Structure 1
Amino acid sequence: MNKLELARFLRHRREARRPAEVGLRVSGRRRTPGLRREEVAWLAGVSTNYYERLEQARAPRPSTQVLAALGTALRLTEAEGEHLARLAGQAPPVRDEPVPDGVLRLLDRLGPVPAYVVDERYDIVAWNSLAAGLIADFAAVPPEERNVLRMSMRGDRCSSGNDEFARQAAADLRLAAGRHPDDPRITALTREYAEFSADFATSWTEHDVQTRPTLRKRIEHPDLGGLDLEAQVLHAPNSAHRLIFLTAEPGTPAYEALLSLNRAQGVQR
Protein backbone atom coordinates (compact mmCIF):
# COMPACT_ATOMS: atom_id res chain seq x y z
CA MET A 1 0.00 0.00 0.00
CA ASN A 2 1.33 3.40 -1.01
CA LYS A 3 -0.25 5.57 1.69
CA LEU A 4 1.24 8.86 0.53
CA GLU A 5 0.21 8.48 -3.12
CA LEU A 6 -3.21 7.20 -2.05
CA ALA A 7 -3.69 10.28 0.10
CA ARG A 8 -2.64 12.63 -2.70
CA PHE A 9 -4.84 10.91 -5.26
CA LEU A 10 -7.93 11.06 -3.03
CA ARG A 11 -7.34 14.72 -2.25
CA HIS A 12 -6.93 15.69 -5.89
CA ARG A 13 -10.02 13.77 -6.98
CA ARG A 14 -12.05 15.28 -4.13
CA GLU A 15 -10.95 18.81 -5.01
CA ALA A 16 -11.72 18.22 -8.69
CA ARG A 17 -15.28 17.03 -8.06
CA ARG A 18 -18.04 19.65 -7.77
CA PRO A 19 -21.01 19.15 -5.38
CA ALA A 20 -23.55 19.23 -8.21
CA GLU A 21 -21.74 16.36 -9.94
CA VAL A 22 -22.44 14.05 -7.00
CA GLY A 23 -25.98 15.23 -6.35
CA LEU A 24 -25.28 17.65 -3.50
CA ARG A 25 -27.05 20.98 -3.21
CA VAL A 26 -25.08 23.81 -1.67
CA SER A 27 -25.79 27.45 -1.02
CA GLY A 28 -23.49 30.36 -0.41
CA ARG A 29 -19.79 30.60 -1.08
CA ARG A 30 -17.39 27.77 -0.28
CA ARG A 31 -13.75 28.10 0.69
CA THR A 32 -12.90 24.49 -0.16
CA PRO A 33 -12.41 23.69 -3.85
CA GLY A 34 -14.58 20.78 -4.84
CA LEU A 35 -16.03 18.56 -2.14
CA ARG A 36 -15.38 18.74 1.59
CA ARG A 37 -13.92 15.72 3.38
CA GLU A 38 -17.07 15.21 5.41
CA GLU A 39 -19.14 15.21 2.21
CA VAL A 40 -17.02 12.45 0.68
CA ALA A 41 -17.21 10.47 3.92
CA TRP A 42 -21.00 10.81 3.99
CA LEU A 43 -21.36 9.79 0.35
CA ALA A 44 -19.10 6.77 0.89
CA GLY A 45 -20.71 5.71 4.16
CA VAL A 46 -17.53 5.97 6.24
CA SER A 47 -16.69 8.15 9.22
CA THR A 48 -15.26 11.59 8.60
CA ASN A 49 -12.37 10.77 10.92
CA TYR A 50 -11.46 7.69 8.90
CA TYR A 51 -11.58 9.54 5.59
CA GLU A 52 -9.48 12.37 7.01
CA ARG A 53 -6.87 9.83 8.12
CA LEU A 54 -6.83 8.39 4.58
CA GLU A 55 -6.00 11.83 3.18
CA GLN A 56 -3.38 12.26 5.89
CA ALA A 57 -1.73 8.91 5.00
CA ARG A 58 -2.40 7.63 8.53
CA ALA A 59 -5.22 5.13 7.98
CA PRO A 60 -4.84 1.34 7.66
CA ARG A 61 -5.41 -0.32 4.30
CA PRO A 62 -9.03 0.25 3.17
CA SER A 63 -11.11 -2.79 2.30
CA THR A 64 -12.35 -3.50 -1.21
CA GLN A 65 -15.82 -2.44 -0.06
CA VAL A 66 -14.54 0.93 1.17
CA LEU A 67 -12.59 1.47 -2.06
CA ALA A 68 -15.69 0.73 -4.11
CA ALA A 69 -17.70 3.16 -1.98
CA LEU A 70 -15.07 5.87 -2.38
CA GLY A 71 -15.00 5.27 -6.12
CA THR A 72 -18.76 5.75 -6.29
CA ALA A 73 -18.69 8.81 -4.03
CA LEU A 74 -15.99 10.51 -6.10
CA ARG A 75 -17.48 9.34 -9.42
CA LEU A 76 -14.19 7.71 -10.42
CA THR A 77 -13.83 6.30 -13.90
CA GLU A 78 -12.82 2.67 -14.41
CA ALA A 79 -9.17 3.66 -14.90
CA GLU A 80 -9.22 5.86 -11.79
CA GLY A 81 -10.86 3.10 -9.74
CA GLU A 82 -8.20 0.60 -10.79
CA HIS A 83 -5.49 3.10 -9.94
CA LEU A 84 -7.04 3.67 -6.51
CA ALA A 85 -7.10 -0.08 -5.86
CA ARG A 86 -3.45 -0.45 -6.81
CA LEU A 87 -2.39 2.41 -4.57
CA ALA A 88 -4.27 0.73 -1.72
CA GLY A 89 -2.55 -2.59 -2.39
CA GLN A 90 -5.78 -4.30 -3.46
CA ALA A 91 -4.77 -5.16 -7.03
CA PRO A 92 -2.16 -7.64 -8.22
CA PRO A 93 1.13 -6.12 -9.45
CA VAL A 94 1.70 -5.92 -13.20
CA ARG A 95 4.91 -7.65 -14.24
CA ASP A 96 7.08 -7.00 -17.27
CA GLU A 97 6.23 -9.37 -20.07
CA PRO A 98 7.17 -9.94 -23.72
CA VAL A 99 5.17 -8.35 -26.52
CA PRO A 100 2.37 -10.77 -27.45
CA ASP A 101 3.00 -12.72 -30.65
CA GLY A 102 -0.32 -11.56 -32.08
CA VAL A 103 0.75 -7.92 -31.73
CA LEU A 104 4.04 -8.61 -33.49
CA ARG A 105 2.22 -10.31 -36.37
CA LEU A 106 -0.16 -7.35 -36.62
CA LEU A 107 2.76 -4.94 -36.92
CA ASP A 108 3.98 -6.73 -40.03
CA ARG A 109 0.57 -6.71 -41.72
CA LEU A 110 -0.43 -3.07 -41.44
CA GLY A 111 0.64 -1.98 -44.92
CA PRO A 112 1.04 1.81 -45.23
CA VAL A 113 0.46 2.41 -41.51
CA PRO A 114 3.46 3.22 -39.30
CA ALA A 115 3.11 1.55 -35.91
CA TYR A 116 5.17 0.78 -32.84
CA VAL A 117 4.67 -0.80 -29.43
CA VAL A 118 5.48 0.85 -26.11
CA ASP A 119 5.53 -0.55 -22.61
CA GLU A 120 4.38 1.20 -19.45
CA ARG A 121 7.56 3.30 -19.32
CA TYR A 122 7.14 4.53 -22.91
CA ASP A 123 10.04 2.33 -24.01
CA ILE A 124 9.65 1.39 -27.70
CA VAL A 125 9.85 -2.41 -27.68
CA ALA A 126 8.67 -3.28 -31.23
CA TRP A 127 7.98 -1.46 -34.51
CA ASN A 128 7.32 -2.00 -38.19
CA SER A 129 9.56 -0.87 -41.03
CA LEU A 130 7.35 2.09 -41.93
CA ALA A 131 7.61 3.49 -38.40
CA ALA A 132 11.38 3.17 -38.61
CA GLY A 133 11.39 5.00 -41.94
CA LEU A 134 9.10 7.74 -40.67
CA ILE A 135 10.50 8.33 -37.18
CA ALA A 136 13.92 6.78 -36.62
CA ASP A 137 16.03 3.68 -37.16
CA PHE A 138 15.06 2.30 -33.79
CA ALA A 139 17.46 -0.64 -34.13
CA ALA A 140 20.35 1.83 -34.14
CA VAL A 141 19.17 3.54 -30.93
CA PRO A 142 20.56 2.05 -27.68
CA PRO A 143 17.74 0.22 -25.84
CA GLU A 144 18.02 2.47 -22.77
CA GLU A 145 17.45 5.53 -25.00
CA ARG A 146 14.73 3.95 -27.16
CA ASN A 147 12.05 5.79 -25.23
CA VAL A 148 9.37 8.12 -26.62
CA LEU A 149 9.88 10.77 -23.95
CA ARG A 150 13.66 10.69 -24.05
CA MET A 151 13.64 10.85 -27.85
CA SER A 152 11.29 13.81 -27.54
CA MET A 153 13.70 15.57 -25.19
CA ARG A 154 16.51 15.03 -27.71
CA GLY A 155 14.40 16.62 -30.45
CA ASP A 156 13.93 13.41 -32.43
CA ARG A 157 10.94 13.01 -34.75
CA CYS A 158 9.14 10.96 -32.07
CA SER A 159 8.15 14.25 -30.44
CA SER A 160 4.51 15.32 -30.41
CA GLY A 161 5.26 18.75 -29.03
CA ASN A 162 1.80 19.57 -27.64
CA ASP A 163 0.08 19.78 -24.28
CA GLU A 164 -2.32 16.98 -25.22
CA PHE A 165 0.59 14.55 -25.43
CA ALA A 166 2.05 15.86 -22.16
CA ARG A 167 -1.25 15.25 -20.34
CA GLN A 168 -1.47 11.71 -21.67
CA ALA A 169 2.15 10.94 -20.79
CA ALA A 170 1.58 12.19 -17.25
CA ALA A 171 -1.54 10.03 -16.89
CA ASP A 172 0.19 6.94 -18.29
CA LEU A 173 3.24 7.32 -16.07
CA ARG A 174 1.06 8.01 -13.03
CA LEU A 175 -0.66 4.66 -13.67
CA ALA A 176 2.69 2.97 -14.19
CA ALA A 177 4.03 4.41 -10.94
CA GLY A 178 0.98 3.02 -9.16
CA ARG A 179 1.69 -0.44 -10.57
CA HIS A 180 5.46 -0.24 -9.98
CA PRO A 181 5.94 2.09 -6.98
CA ASP A 182 9.57 1.07 -6.47
CA ASP A 183 10.72 1.28 -10.09
CA PRO A 184 13.60 3.80 -10.22
CA ARG A 185 13.33 4.03 -14.02
CA ILE A 186 9.82 5.47 -13.82
CA THR A 187 10.89 7.89 -11.08
CA ALA A 188 13.88 9.09 -13.10
CA LEU A 189 11.90 9.43 -16.33
CA THR A 190 9.14 11.38 -14.61
CA ARG A 191 11.64 13.77 -13.04
CA GLU A 192 13.49 14.33 -16.33
CA TYR A 193 10.37 14.98 -18.39
CA ALA A 194 8.85 17.27 -15.76
CA GLU A 195 11.95 19.47 -16.08
CA PHE A 196 11.62 19.39 -19.88
CA SER A 197 7.86 19.99 -20.18
CA ALA A 198 5.92 22.45 -18.02
CA ASP A 199 2.65 20.95 -19.32
CA PHE A 200 3.75 17.51 -18.13
CA ALA A 201 4.81 18.86 -14.74
CA THR A 202 1.44 20.54 -14.25
CA SER A 203 -0.50 17.46 -15.32
CA TRP A 204 1.60 15.23 -13.08
CA THR A 205 0.61 17.21 -9.98
CA GLU A 206 -3.08 16.84 -10.89
CA HIS A 207 -2.96 13.01 -10.54
CA ASP A 208 -4.98 12.56 -13.73
CA VAL A 209 -5.03 8.91 -14.88
CA GLN A 210 -7.51 9.17 -17.75
CA THR A 211 -6.45 7.58 -21.02
CA ARG A 212 -7.11 9.17 -24.41
CA PRO A 213 -7.44 6.77 -27.36
CA THR A 214 -6.48 9.35 -29.99
CA LEU A 215 -3.79 12.02 -29.93
CA ARG A 216 -2.61 14.54 -32.50
CA LYS A 217 1.00 14.22 -33.60
CA ARG A 218 3.16 16.31 -35.92
CA ILE A 219 6.30 14.81 -37.40
CA GLU A 220 8.90 16.81 -39.29
CA HIS A 221 10.43 14.42 -41.83
CA PRO A 222 13.57 15.53 -43.73
CA ASP A 223 12.19 14.34 -47.09
CA LEU A 224 8.41 14.37 -46.64
CA GLY A 225 8.12 17.63 -44.72
CA GLY A 226 5.72 18.28 -41.85
CA LEU A 227 3.08 15.57 -41.38
CA ASP A 228 -0.01 16.08 -39.24
CA LEU A 229 -1.04 12.62 -38.04
CA GLU A 230 -3.34 10.98 -35.53
CA ALA A 231 -1.86 8.53 -33.06
CA GLN A 232 -4.42 5.82 -32.37
CA VAL A 233 -3.67 3.94 -29.15
CA LEU A 234 -4.69 0.30 -28.81
CA HIS A 235 -4.14 -1.55 -25.55
CA ALA A 236 -3.01 -5.13 -26.13
CA PRO A 237 -5.38 -7.63 -24.45
CA ASN A 238 -4.05 -9.11 -21.20
CA SER A 239 -0.88 -7.05 -21.50
CA ALA A 240 0.52 -3.73 -20.37
CA HIS A 241 1.73 -2.96 -23.89
CA ARG A 242 0.17 -0.33 -26.14
CA LEU A 243 0.17 -0.38 -29.93
CA ILE A 244 0.48 3.09 -31.49
CA PHE A 245 -0.85 3.51 -35.06
CA LEU A 246 0.02 6.69 -36.96
CA THR A 247 -2.74 7.49 -39.45
CA ALA A 248 -3.86 10.35 -41.67
CA GLU A 249 -7.16 11.29 -43.28
CA PRO A 250 -7.35 9.87 -46.84
CA GLY A 251 -6.71 12.54 -49.46
CA THR A 252 -4.60 14.74 -47.19
CA PRO A 253 -0.93 15.51 -47.91
CA ALA A 254 0.06 13.44 -44.87
CA TYR A 255 -1.86 10.43 -46.20
CA GLU A 256 -0.21 10.71 -49.60
CA ALA A 257 3.20 11.05 -47.92
CA LEU A 258 2.67 7.79 -46.01
CA LEU A 259 1.70 6.02 -49.23
CA SER A 260 4.82 7.41 -50.90
CA LEU A 261 7.03 6.22 -48.04
CA ASN A 262 5.44 2.79 -48.16
CA ARG A 263 6.03 2.53 -51.93
CA ALA A 264 9.65 3.63 -51.53
CA GLN A 265 10.27 0.98 -48.92
CA GLY A 266 8.68 -1.64 -51.16
CA VAL A 267 11.08 -0.72 -53.97
CA GLN A 268 14.05 -0.88 -51.59
CA ARG A 269 13.08 -4.37 -50.45
Structure 2
Amino acid sequence: MDRRELAGFLRSRRERIAPADVGLPSGPRRRTPGLRREEVAQLAFISTEYYTRLEQARGPHPSREVLAGLARALCLSDAERDHLHHLAGAPPGPPPGPSREVPQSILDFLRRLPHAAAIVLSATYEVIAWNDLAAALLEDFSALSRPERNLVRRAFLTPPGDDRLLYSLSDDGGFARTAARHLRAAAARYPDDPEVASVVGELLSGSPEFARLWASHDVRAGHTLRKTVHHPLIGPVTVDCDVLDITDRDQRVVIYTAEPGTRSEEALRLLSVIGTQRMDVPG
Protein backbone atom coordinates (compact mmCIF):
# COMPACT_ATOMS: atom_id res chain seq x y z
CA MET A 1 0.00 0.00 0.00
CA ASP A 2 1.47 3.34 -1.10
CA ARG A 3 -0.15 5.67 1.43
CA ARG A 4 1.38 8.88 0.11
CA GLU A 5 0.42 8.25 -3.53
CA LEU A 6 -3.03 7.04 -2.49
CA ALA A 7 -3.58 10.23 -0.47
CA GLY A 8 -2.58 12.44 -3.39
CA PHE A 9 -4.72 10.52 -5.83
CA LEU A 10 -7.82 10.70 -3.64
CA ARG A 11 -7.36 14.42 -3.08
CA SER A 12 -6.89 15.15 -6.79
CA ARG A 13 -9.99 13.16 -7.75
CA ARG A 14 -12.07 14.83 -5.02
CA GLU A 15 -11.07 18.34 -6.11
CA ARG A 16 -12.08 17.81 -9.74
CA ILE A 17 -15.73 16.92 -8.99
CA ALA A 18 -18.31 19.69 -8.84
CA PRO A 19 -21.05 19.16 -6.22
CA ALA A 20 -23.68 19.32 -8.96
CA ASP A 21 -22.00 16.34 -10.68
CA VAL A 22 -23.12 14.10 -7.82
CA GLY A 23 -26.42 15.81 -7.02
CA LEU A 24 -25.23 18.04 -4.17
CA PRO A 25 -25.90 21.79 -3.78
CA SER A 26 -22.94 24.08 -4.36
CA GLY A 27 -23.62 26.42 -1.46
CA PRO A 28 -22.41 30.04 -1.17
CA ARG A 29 -19.42 29.46 1.14
CA ARG A 30 -17.49 26.70 -0.61
CA ARG A 31 -13.82 27.71 -0.29
CA THR A 32 -12.11 24.65 -1.78
CA PRO A 33 -12.51 23.24 -5.29
CA GLY A 34 -14.55 20.11 -5.74
CA LEU A 35 -16.19 18.15 -2.97
CA ARG A 36 -15.57 18.38 0.76
CA ARG A 37 -14.08 15.39 2.55
CA GLU A 38 -17.26 14.76 4.49
CA GLU A 39 -19.23 14.70 1.23
CA VAL A 40 -16.98 12.04 -0.28
CA ALA A 41 -17.23 10.01 2.92
CA GLN A 42 -21.01 10.26 2.84
CA LEU A 43 -21.17 9.15 -0.80
CA ALA A 44 -18.77 6.27 -0.12
CA PHE A 45 -20.63 5.17 3.06
CA ILE A 46 -17.58 5.50 5.30
CA SER A 47 -16.83 7.83 8.21
CA THR A 48 -15.38 11.27 7.60
CA GLU A 49 -12.59 10.47 10.05
CA TYR A 50 -11.60 7.36 8.11
CA TYR A 51 -11.58 9.19 4.78
CA THR A 52 -9.60 12.10 6.25
CA ARG A 53 -6.94 9.69 7.49
CA LEU A 54 -6.66 8.18 3.99
CA GLU A 55 -6.09 11.64 2.49
CA GLN A 56 -3.49 12.38 5.18
CA ALA A 57 -1.56 9.20 4.32
CA ARG A 58 -2.13 7.64 7.72
CA GLY A 59 -5.18 5.48 7.10
CA PRO A 60 -5.37 1.69 7.49
CA HIS A 61 -5.44 -0.70 4.55
CA PRO A 62 -8.88 -0.13 2.93
CA SER A 63 -11.04 -3.14 2.17
CA ARG A 64 -12.35 -3.90 -1.32
CA GLU A 65 -15.78 -2.69 -0.17
CA VAL A 66 -14.30 0.66 0.85
CA LEU A 67 -12.40 0.94 -2.44
CA ALA A 68 -15.59 0.21 -4.38
CA GLY A 69 -17.38 2.94 -2.42
CA LEU A 70 -14.60 5.44 -3.07
CA ALA A 71 -14.55 4.61 -6.80
CA ARG A 72 -18.28 5.21 -6.97
CA ALA A 73 -18.19 8.42 -4.90
CA LEU A 74 -15.31 9.90 -6.91
CA CYS A 75 -16.82 8.90 -10.30
CA LEU A 76 -13.65 7.06 -11.28
CA SER A 77 -13.15 5.68 -14.77
CA ASP A 78 -12.22 2.03 -15.21
CA ALA A 79 -8.52 2.92 -15.48
CA GLU A 80 -8.70 5.13 -12.37
CA ARG A 81 -10.51 2.39 -10.45
CA ASP A 82 -7.72 -0.06 -11.27
CA HIS A 83 -5.10 2.53 -10.26
CA LEU A 84 -6.86 3.09 -6.93
CA HIS A 85 -6.75 -0.64 -6.20
CA HIS A 86 -3.06 -0.89 -7.05
CA LEU A 87 -2.18 2.08 -4.81
CA ALA A 88 -4.11 0.45 -1.97
CA GLY A 89 -2.23 -2.81 -2.42
CA ALA A 90 -5.35 -4.69 -3.55
CA PRO A 91 -5.04 -5.57 -7.26
CA PRO A 92 -8.42 -5.12 -8.94
CA GLY A 93 -10.61 -8.06 -9.72
CA PRO A 94 -13.10 -8.21 -12.57
CA PRO A 95 -15.39 -5.17 -12.88
CA PRO A 96 -18.50 -5.47 -10.68
CA GLY A 97 -20.82 -4.49 -13.51
CA PRO A 98 -20.94 -3.53 -17.19
CA SER A 99 -18.79 -0.57 -18.15
CA ARG A 100 -20.55 2.60 -19.37
CA GLU A 101 -17.30 4.44 -20.16
CA VAL A 102 -16.92 4.62 -23.94
CA PRO A 103 -13.31 4.97 -25.17
CA GLN A 104 -12.53 8.40 -26.62
CA SER A 105 -11.31 6.78 -29.84
CA ILE A 106 -14.77 5.23 -30.33
CA LEU A 107 -16.49 8.58 -29.70
CA ASP A 108 -14.20 10.16 -32.30
CA PHE A 109 -14.99 7.29 -34.68
CA LEU A 110 -18.74 7.93 -34.37
CA ARG A 111 -18.25 11.58 -35.28
CA ARG A 112 -16.24 10.62 -38.37
CA LEU A 113 -19.19 8.72 -39.87
CA PRO A 114 -21.17 11.49 -41.62
CA HIS A 115 -23.20 9.11 -43.80
CA ALA A 116 -23.70 6.28 -41.29
CA ALA A 117 -25.80 6.22 -38.15
CA ALA A 118 -24.01 4.62 -35.21
CA ILE A 119 -24.70 3.90 -31.55
CA VAL A 120 -22.78 2.21 -28.74
CA LEU A 121 -24.58 -0.32 -26.54
CA SER A 122 -23.56 -1.46 -23.08
CA ALA A 123 -23.77 -5.12 -22.08
CA THR A 124 -27.34 -4.45 -20.90
CA TYR A 125 -28.37 -2.82 -24.22
CA GLU A 126 -28.35 0.73 -22.90
CA VAL A 127 -27.49 3.28 -25.59
CA ILE A 128 -24.46 4.99 -24.04
CA ALA A 129 -23.13 6.90 -27.08
CA TRP A 130 -24.42 7.92 -30.51
CA ASN A 131 -23.69 10.21 -33.40
CA ASP A 132 -25.90 12.96 -34.83
CA LEU A 133 -27.26 10.84 -37.66
CA ALA A 134 -28.34 8.09 -35.24
CA ALA A 135 -30.25 10.68 -33.23
CA ALA A 136 -31.93 11.89 -36.42
CA LEU A 137 -32.75 8.39 -37.70
CA LEU A 138 -33.81 6.77 -34.43
CA GLU A 139 -34.30 9.24 -31.58
CA ASP A 140 -32.67 12.12 -29.74
CA PHE A 141 -31.23 9.94 -26.99
CA SER A 142 -29.96 12.98 -25.08
CA ALA A 143 -33.57 13.82 -24.21
CA LEU A 144 -34.18 10.42 -22.59
CA SER A 145 -33.46 9.06 -19.13
CA ARG A 146 -31.16 6.06 -18.75
CA PRO A 147 -34.04 3.55 -18.43
CA GLU A 148 -35.65 5.00 -21.56
CA ARG A 149 -32.39 4.52 -23.51
CA ASN A 150 -32.35 0.78 -22.78
CA LEU A 151 -33.33 -1.00 -26.01
CA VAL A 152 -34.11 -4.37 -24.43
CA ARG A 153 -36.57 -2.64 -22.09
CA ARG A 154 -38.10 -0.93 -25.08
CA ALA A 155 -38.33 -4.17 -27.05
CA PHE A 156 -40.22 -6.09 -24.36
CA LEU A 157 -42.02 -3.54 -22.20
CA THR A 158 -43.45 -1.11 -24.78
CA PRO A 159 -47.08 -1.92 -25.65
CA PRO A 160 -47.69 -3.11 -29.25
CA GLY A 161 -48.61 -0.25 -31.54
CA ASP A 162 -46.79 2.34 -29.43
CA ASP A 163 -44.60 4.60 -31.60
CA ARG A 164 -41.72 4.05 -29.18
CA LEU A 165 -41.55 0.31 -29.96
CA LEU A 166 -38.02 0.06 -31.37
CA TYR A 167 -38.59 2.81 -33.90
CA SER A 168 -40.90 0.52 -35.95
CA LEU A 169 -37.99 -1.68 -37.02
CA SER A 170 -39.09 -4.32 -39.50
CA ASP A 171 -37.38 -7.12 -37.56
CA ASP A 172 -38.12 -6.03 -34.00
CA GLY A 173 -38.91 -9.64 -33.07
CA GLY A 174 -35.49 -10.82 -34.23
CA PHE A 175 -33.82 -8.00 -32.36
CA ALA A 176 -35.73 -8.84 -29.19
CA ARG A 177 -34.63 -12.49 -29.33
CA THR A 178 -31.00 -11.53 -29.88
CA ALA A 179 -31.11 -8.97 -27.06
CA ALA A 180 -32.57 -11.54 -24.64
CA ARG A 181 -29.72 -13.95 -25.46
CA HIS A 182 -27.08 -11.30 -24.94
CA LEU A 183 -28.65 -10.18 -21.66
CA ARG A 184 -28.63 -13.73 -20.31
CA ALA A 185 -24.92 -14.00 -21.10
CA ALA A 186 -24.30 -10.60 -19.45
CA ALA A 187 -26.14 -11.75 -16.31
CA ALA A 188 -23.73 -14.68 -16.07
CA ARG A 189 -20.70 -12.38 -16.45
CA TYR A 190 -21.97 -9.91 -13.81
CA PRO A 191 -23.83 -12.04 -11.26
CA ASP A 192 -23.43 -9.50 -8.46
CA ASP A 193 -24.33 -6.33 -10.35
CA PRO A 194 -27.59 -4.84 -8.98
CA GLU A 195 -28.37 -2.95 -12.20
CA VAL A 196 -28.20 -6.11 -14.35
CA ALA A 197 -30.38 -7.93 -11.81
CA SER A 198 -32.86 -5.05 -11.80
CA VAL A 199 -33.20 -5.03 -15.61
CA VAL A 200 -33.67 -8.81 -15.73
CA GLY A 201 -36.18 -8.76 -12.88
CA GLU A 202 -38.20 -5.98 -14.48
CA LEU A 203 -38.32 -7.84 -17.80
CA LEU A 204 -39.24 -11.19 -16.23
CA SER A 205 -42.13 -9.65 -14.33
CA GLY A 206 -43.33 -7.40 -17.14
CA SER A 207 -42.98 -9.52 -20.27
CA PRO A 208 -44.20 -13.12 -20.71
CA GLU A 209 -42.31 -13.26 -24.01
CA PHE A 210 -39.04 -12.33 -22.31
CA ALA A 211 -39.73 -14.87 -19.55
CA ARG A 212 -40.23 -17.56 -22.21
CA LEU A 213 -36.97 -16.66 -23.96
CA TRP A 214 -35.13 -16.47 -20.63
CA ALA A 215 -36.33 -19.95 -19.69
CA SER A 216 -34.84 -21.34 -22.92
CA HIS A 217 -31.28 -20.54 -21.69
CA ASP A 218 -30.31 -19.62 -25.25
CA VAL A 219 -27.12 -17.55 -25.57
CA ARG A 220 -26.41 -17.97 -29.29
CA ALA A 221 -25.26 -14.85 -31.10
CA GLY A 222 -27.63 -13.31 -33.62
CA HIS A 223 -26.84 -12.65 -37.27
CA THR A 224 -26.21 -9.36 -38.99
CA LEU A 225 -29.52 -8.18 -40.44
CA ARG A 226 -30.94 -5.71 -42.87
CA LYS A 227 -33.48 -3.54 -41.11
CA THR A 228 -36.11 -1.04 -42.17
CA VAL A 229 -36.70 1.94 -39.90
CA HIS A 230 -40.10 3.55 -40.43
CA HIS A 231 -39.17 7.16 -39.81
CA PRO A 232 -42.20 9.30 -38.86
CA LEU A 233 -41.25 12.14 -41.24
CA ILE A 234 -39.45 10.66 -44.25
CA GLY A 235 -40.92 7.16 -44.34
CA PRO A 236 -39.16 3.79 -44.53
CA VAL A 237 -35.35 3.73 -44.51
CA THR A 238 -33.72 0.35 -45.19
CA VAL A 239 -30.26 -0.05 -43.67
CA ASP A 240 -27.65 -2.75 -43.20
CA CYS A 241 -26.80 -3.30 -39.55
CA ASP A 242 -23.21 -4.22 -38.66
CA VAL A 243 -21.96 -4.78 -35.13
CA LEU A 244 -18.39 -4.22 -33.91
CA ASP A 245 -17.40 -5.56 -30.47
CA ILE A 246 -15.39 -3.48 -27.99
CA THR A 247 -14.22 -6.57 -26.16
CA ASP A 248 -12.37 -4.97 -23.25
CA ARG A 249 -15.43 -2.84 -22.34
CA ASP A 250 -18.10 -5.46 -23.10
CA GLN A 251 -19.75 -2.97 -25.45
CA ARG A 252 -21.00 -3.03 -29.06
CA VAL A 253 -20.89 -0.42 -31.79
CA VAL A 254 -23.93 -0.74 -34.06
CA ILE A 255 -23.54 0.91 -37.48
CA TYR A 256 -26.47 1.53 -39.85
CA THR A 257 -25.61 2.16 -43.52
CA ALA A 258 -27.74 2.32 -46.67
CA GLU A 259 -26.99 0.65 -50.00
CA PRO A 260 -25.41 3.17 -52.40
CA GLY A 261 -27.73 4.60 -55.02
CA THR A 262 -30.95 3.75 -53.18
CA ARG A 263 -33.73 5.93 -51.86
CA SER A 264 -32.60 4.99 -48.35
CA GLU A 265 -29.14 6.42 -49.00
CA GLU A 266 -30.76 9.68 -50.07
CA ALA A 267 -32.92 9.59 -46.94
CA LEU A 268 -29.85 9.23 -44.70
CA ARG A 269 -28.20 12.15 -46.49
CA LEU A 270 -31.31 14.23 -45.87
CA LEU A 271 -31.34 13.27 -42.20
CA SER A 272 -27.65 14.16 -41.86
CA VAL A 273 -28.61 17.70 -42.94
CA ILE A 274 -31.82 18.26 -40.98
CA GLY A 275 -30.73 16.40 -37.84
CA THR A 276 -33.36 16.10 -35.13
CA GLN A 277 -35.31 19.21 -36.06
CA ARG A 278 -38.95 18.69 -36.93
CA MET A 279 -39.96 19.20 -40.54
CA ASP A 280 -43.70 19.33 -39.86
CA VAL A 281 -43.74 22.50 -37.75
CA PRO A 282 -45.48 25.35 -39.63
CA GLY A 283 -43.40 28.43 -40.20
TM-score tier, shorter chain, comes to 0.5 to 0.7
107, 112, 128: which is aligned to 2:110?
A: 107
* Conserved 8 A contact 2:135-2:275: no
* Conserved 8 A contact 1:167-1:199: no
Q: Does 1:255 align with 2:265?
A: yes
- After TM superposition, give the deviation of residue 188 of structure 1 in Å: 3.4
Other-structure match for 1:144: 147
* Conserved 8 A contact 2:98-2:249: no
Other-structure match for 1:236: 246
* Conserved 8 A contact 1:114-1:246: yes
- Secondary structure of 1:214's partner? coil
CA shift in 2, pair 1:101/1:225, >3 Å: same
Q: CA RMSD of the aligned region, Å?
A: 2.9
Q: Does 1:173 align with 2:183?
A: yes
- After TM superposition, give the deviation of residue 111 of structure 1 in Å: 1.2
- Secondary structure of 1:234's partner? strand
Other-structure match for 1:186: 196
Tell me the TM-score normalized by structure 2.
0.55
- Report the Cα distance in structure 2 between the residues aligned to 1:204 and 1:147, rounded to whole angstroms: 18
Query: Which sections of structure 1, spanning at least 5 residues, go unmatched?
Result: 1-90
* Conserved 8 A contact 1:219-1:228: yes
In structure 2, give the amino acid aligned to 1:189.
V
Q: Does 1:205 align with 2:208?
A: no
Other-structure match for 1:130: 133
For residues 160-200 of structure 1, what are the alpha-carbon distances to aligned partners after superposition, in whole Å with 9 as ceiling and x for unaligned? 45332122111110111001113343333234445666654
121, 124, 135: which is aligned to 1:121?
A: 124
In structure 2, give the amino acid aligned to 1:111.
P
* Conserved 8 A contact 1:94-1:240: no
- Report the Cα distance in structure 1 between the residues aligned to 2:133 and 2:146, rounded to whole angstroms: 19
The percentage of aligned residue pairs carrying the same residue is: 38
Tell me the TM-score normalized by structure 1.
0.57
CA shift in 2, pair 1:164/1:196, >3 Å: farther
* Conserved 8 A contact 1:235-1:242: yes
Query: Which sections of structure 2, spanning at least 5 residues, go unmatched?
Result: 1-92, 279-283
CA shift in 2, pair 1:210/1:162, >3 Å: same
- Report the Cα distance in structure 1 between the residues aligned to 2:192 and 2:247, rounded to whole angstroms: 25
